[in-house]
Chain A
Amino acid sequence: MSETSNKTVQGDESPKAEKTAVAEAAAATATVPAPAEDPTAAGVAVVDPRLLVREEGLKGYVTEFKRKVKGGELGSLPVVIGLIIIWTIFQAKNSLFLSADNLSNISYFLSATGMLAIGLVFVLLLGEIDLSVGSVSGLASTVFAVFVVNHGMNQWLALVLTIITGIGIGALHGWFFARIGVPAFVVTLAGFLGWNGLMLWLLGDSGTINIPADSGPVHILGQSSFFMDQAIIGAYLLAGLGVVLSALGQFNEQRRRRAAGVPFRPTSEIIVRVVLLAIASFVAAAVLNNAAGVSNALVIFLASLVIVDFVLRRTTFGRKVFAVGGGIEAARRAGISVPLVRITVFAISGGFAAIGGMFFAGQTASATLNAGGGNTLMLAIAAAVIGGTSLFGGRGSVWSALLGMLVIQSIQTGLDLLNMNTSIQYMITGGVLLGAVVIDSVSRKSQKAAGRG
């Protein structure tokens, strides 16, 4: 939404035929007085008096908040509470936990698994699951290393080929699922094992391929590569950019809605939202600056989130993903090609898994046996679900990848800091995943009861 002109919405370049059809139907049917200029008057025409409308002012927000929580619309509430609890516990156990350096570590390491979680959000929105993302990410890092080290290929070209490999693998899973009808769970379980096997075979006896990391993508994704070379202004620039874009977007939307006479967000609410975002992002920027700066990996992760969020909410493709997740038959009858959407979504998941694999390669400047193994898959799924994307399809947002990863990576880093060994880590991660799924299922139940499922 970047337009600055002042033309009204009716003048927009929406397809003529559709507009006239609706207009005709509306004109021909004008038994109800046409909505007046005043937006509130227009509202009265269709708004049901039984609808609970938020009261004015702060009290209104509080009552609406309580009602939403009761109705199972928990949003990001459980995550935020969970994060506060986790941070308090770890800080009490080890005072280094909330230090700038450790928080900076968390922010760096969360981006790799976060990339896998972005892809998983797409799959979860369809109500499906992709169990192969961990293996595909490991395979991707190895494929990249083989291209670069064994074949002396240019790193950027190798990067492109690696991502294409990931997309191809995902599309293959999607094809088996959408065209042959094999359950996604089984296809990707086979992929989980098969692609891991291929990776081991490629790595051969050595088990590790070191990748030169003085330049190229692996360097950029490394832990010592920072946005604008650690310039103090860099972090604030990013924070400011986010805040300004968000404010512009919201005010622009408000203006367009007001012009069209449909309900819009009051200015006070927009200001509150923008201020909250500004506080969060500038505090984060200050903390990261206190350590070493904003890692490039984090910047790429955040940029991906913004782009994917836009694709999911504002494009017809995103709408199709939600539609297929909410009702396959309805989507089909609306003329949406369900198999195509499914294949594309799995291809996207494979693509993000490959990108995540590059992040893993960046962390160690090598392709190793362990890349994408262990609990990587579990963590990525847990992140998406903890962040609020439903396992049942049709509900969620890509920001859950960020929120969920904050929780997951805090736990990982905290346990590392306390020198807990892997056994404990696995048990705790398993427990957290179970907890997230329970919250998802319970909130789905109460949403059904509140008529919102």
Chain B
Amino acid sequence: MVHVSATPVLALRGVSKRFGAVQALTDVELEVHAGEVVALVGDNGAGKSTLVKTIAGVHPIDEGVIEWEGNAVSINKPHDAQGLGVATVYQDLALCDNLDVVGNLFLGRELLHRGVIDEVTMEKQARDLLSTLSIRIPSVRIPIASLSGGQRQVVAIARSLIGDPKVVILDEPTAALGVEQTAQVLDLVERLRERNLGVILISHNMADVKAVADTVAVLRLGKNNGSFPVKSTSHEEIIAAITGATDNAVTRRAERRTTEAAK
């Protein structure tokens, strides 16, 4: 683990969120320190994306407090979160289909040159950034609509690196990616940590989580279900926390395997 500061850069205290009849989040606590990668795991529908969206200002919280560098802040719209320095890659990517790659990368924070959008500098930075993510995109000037799912995902990830974020949230960033791009994204997460940013990484892939995360926070049915240091926690313990029981589908399957193998 790299250096971890005392005050978390981002902390959620007793956050709750309701959608009509669904209590998506109940009293959730979460802390992210500068230079720390927190993996947020949980089953489908556990509320991970909802948690991300409350931090990003897409869905304002109903109850609880969000603290930024120790001070309570109110995040009611995406603009508030961006102002604080939260950059988010959403699971549903949210890119503008009609704009080209450059336009999407810089959307909402276009570079200006004498008050006019500076397409040339933006295009140059976009090319440099994308080449570091080793993704092949036919051209940075084609509309997003003509990219593949994985290419869009990389554009969305690259988008979060523009600006000067303090916390980067990645909601299942590698779900649609190839082997090479997945490795690149994991490298990227490590580099973000080296730059002393806080990272929240959501993933269903335990291997990825074990590879890069410092802490694993488990969410189950919209509630905290434990937070573990990755180094000293076994795979099984995390799975047990995710499913809510030591006797679960995963362990049963593993047992079946071993007994079958023994035969």
Contacts and interface: CB of A to CB of B under 8 A. Distances in A.
Interface of A: 1, 3, 9-10, 12-15, 17-22, 24-26, 28-32, 34-35, 42, 45-48, 50-51, 253, 256-257, 260-262, 313-316, 319, 322-323, 325-327, 329-337, 393-395, 448, 450-453
B138 A48 contact: yes
A108 to B, nearest CB: 33
Contacts of A46: 127, 130-131, 136-137, 139-140
Nearest to B83: A335
A452 B145 contact: yes
Q: Which of A3, A51, A327 gathers most chain B CB within 10 Å?
A: A327
Contacts of B164: 17-18, 20-21
Contacts of B108: 323, 334-336
Contact of B96 (A30, A262, A331): A331
Contacts of A325: 98
Nearest to A42: B127
A319 B110 contact: yes
Interface in B89-127: 90, 94-99, 103-104, 107-118, 120-121, 123-125, 127
B177 interface: no
Contacts of A35: 127-128, 131
A314 B187 CA distance: 36
A268 to B, nearest CB: 20
Contacts of B184: 31
B143 to A, nearest CB: 6
A319 B127 contact: no
A26 B114 contact: no
Contacts of B131: 32, 35, 45-46
Contact of B132 (A10, A31, A448): A31
Interface stretch (B1-9, B188-196, B200-208): B188-196
B124 A12 contact: no
B95 A330 contact: yes
Interface of B: 56, 58, 77-79, 82, 88, 90, 94-99, 103-104, 107-118, 120-121, 123-125, 127-134, 136-140, 142-143, 145-146, 161-165, 184, 187-188, 191, 194-195
B79 A337 contact: yes
Contacts of A319: 99, 103, 107, 110, 117
Given A13-B113, A46-B127, A51-B139, A333 B120 contact: no
A45 B127 contact: yes
Given A25-B161, A28-B194, A326-B98, 5 more contacts: A31-B132, A48-B138, A327-B95, A334-B108, A335-B79
B132 A32 contact: yes
A31 to B, nearest CB: 6
A262 to B, nearest CB: 5
B132 A30 contact: yes
Interface pairs A-B: 8 shortest CB-CB: A29-B132, A326-B98, A334-B108, A394-B98, A326-B96, A51-B138, A451-B146, A335-B79
A332 B78 contact: yes
Nearest to B159: A334
B124 A261 contact: yes
A111 B189 CA distance: 56
B146 A1 contact: no
Contacts of B96: 322-323, 326-327, 330-331, 394
Given A9-B124, A22-B129, A46-B136, A327 B116 contact: no
Contacts of B94: 327, 329-330, 333
Contacts of A257: 120, 123
Nearest to B136: A48
Contacts of A451: 145-146
7 contacts: A18-B111, A24-B195, A47-B139, A260-B121, A316-B110, A319-B110, A326-B96
B115 to A, nearest CB: 8
A24 B59 CA distance: 31
Contacts of A13: 113-114
Nearest to B146: A451
Q: Which of B56, B123, B124, B162 gathers most chain A CB within 10 Å?
A: B124
Contacts of B77: 332, 335
B163 to A, nearest CB: 6
A320 B93 CA distance: 18
B123 A262 contact: yes
Contact of A326 (B97, B128, B133, B146): B97
Nearest to B103: A319
Given A28-B191, A47-B139, A322 B98 contact: yes
A377 to B, nearest CB: 26
A12 B121 contact: yes
